[in-house]
Amino acid sequence: MEKRYLGKSGPAVSSLGLGCMGLSFGYGRVTEKAEAVALIRAAYDEGVTFFDTAEVYGPWTNEDVVGAAIAPFRDKAVLATKFGFNIVDGRQEPGLNSRPEHIRIAVEGSLKRLQTDYIDLLYQHRVDPNVPIEDVAGAVKDLIAEGKVKYFGLSEAGAATIRRAHAVQPVAAVQSEYSLWWREPETKIFPVLEELGIGFVPFSPLGKGFLTGAMTAATRLEKNDFRSTVPRFSAENRQANQPLVRRLEALAAAKGATPAQIALSWILAQKPWIVPIPGTSKQSRLRENCGAVKLRLTEQDLAAIAAVLAANPAQGARYAEAQQRLIDG
């Protein structure tokens, strides 16, 4: 698989990463550890070298899975994890916590669970309004000096926060949601990243599964599937958004591809410093996603996709109000 650099100062990674959250957290059924380990190792066999996790996924269980999975090829993998939530005795408590002393505790826990002595890319998971970002960046800078972290990242951070953090410790990557049906980062975030030489890591590049074409208004979401609380995934909005997927399916068929491959290839075509991290629990979907890196969209293809998006704007809010409040402006 081709490599991409996460900005000017960041590491070289596979052009497609693997988001591991859904193996342990957020999407209903938890994948058995052996099955999850096998999937992560299958991703490596497909050429994926960039693996994304976080202490809050579980909490903690996802880091255990990822650490066990990548142990045989740790030196060839680029491992990203995150801090920033308030986790006490393995339970997520309300609120955020990016106090420097808490960052250090979180990192020590992550290192143990991940079975490693360094983290390649350490993100602040959400911007903590109670802790100056300069203090956060300074704490990560100290960890980098100690060799426990290699690169600093931010997740769902606004443009002003990115600039302030970067002035203290260079930011290698910013992670935010980005896909065919959520393009807001293009307006305020992309220009800052391009100016400062920072990479971009889109999570949910397949629209939390919707853009694969596998979901309909009749799809049942389990109570522990967080999409059941997302307005865009109400039955009404899933029905309203079907025309977008049907149009993507038609475009995909003309290219001998799938809607998921079109969605991922479209992201890869936007900027050379973008590395999406689709997640899946199925090896068949993993192979399908990896096939997107070989798909080349022409200018005509991109124009056709733009026309589809213009004619079929996504219906429904991205997050419920309580979740949206965690996003930095």
235-292 confidence digits (pLDDT tens): 999 999 999 999 999 999 999 999 999 999 999 999 999 999 999 999 999 999 999 9
Residue 324: pLDDT above 80? no
Residue where the block lists tokens 């690169």: 151
| Residue 64 in tokens | 């255990």
pLDDT of residue 45: 98
- Strand 3-5 relative to strand 12-14: parallel, antiparallel, unpaired? antiparallel
Establish whether 319 is a catalytic residue.
no
Residue 20: pLDDT above 90? yes
pLDDT of residue 323: 78
pLDDT of residue 14: 98
Residue 57: pLDDT above 70? yes
Using pLDDT thresholds of 50, 70 and 90, give the confidence band for residue 329: low
Task: Note the pLDDT tens digit of each residue in 60-70.
Answer: 999 999 999 99
Residue 327: pLDDT above 90? no
| 207 vs 214: CA distance, rounded Å | 11
pLDDT of residue 325: 77
Q: State the average pLDDT for the chain.
A: 96
pLDDT of residue 29: 87
Residue 322: pLDDT above 90? no
The average pLDDT across 71-92 equals 96
Using pLDDT thresholds of 50, 70 and 90, give the confidence band for residue 326: confident
The average pLDDT across 110-122 equals 98
Using pLDDT thresholds of 50, 70 and 90, give the confidence band for residue 319: confident
Burial letters for 18-56: b for 16+ Cβ neighbours within 10 Å, e otherwise? Answer: bbbbbbbbbbbebbeeeebbebbbbbbebebbbbbbbbb
Task: Note the pLDDT tens digit of each residue in 21-31.
Answer: 999 998 988 99
pLDDT of residue 28: 85
CA distances from 149 to 66, 75, 185, 186, 266 (A): 17, 14, 26, 29, 32
Residue 328: pLDDT above 90? no
The average pLDDT across 203-219 equals 95
Please give the angle made by the CA atoms of 73, 79 and 80, to the nearest 5 degrees: 165
Q: Domains plus CATH for the chain?
A: 3-324 (3.20.20.100)
| 262 vs 212: CA distance, rounded Å | 9
The average pLDDT across 314-326 equals 84
Task: Note the pLDDT tens digit of each residue in 150-170.
Answer: 999 999 999 999 999 999 999
The average pLDDT across 198-219 equals 95
Q: Which of 44, 57, 123, 151 is catalytic?
A: 57
The average pLDDT across 87-96 equals 92
Beta-carbon contacts of residue 324 (< 8 Å; ≥ 6 apart): 317, 318
The average pLDDT across 40-63 equals 98
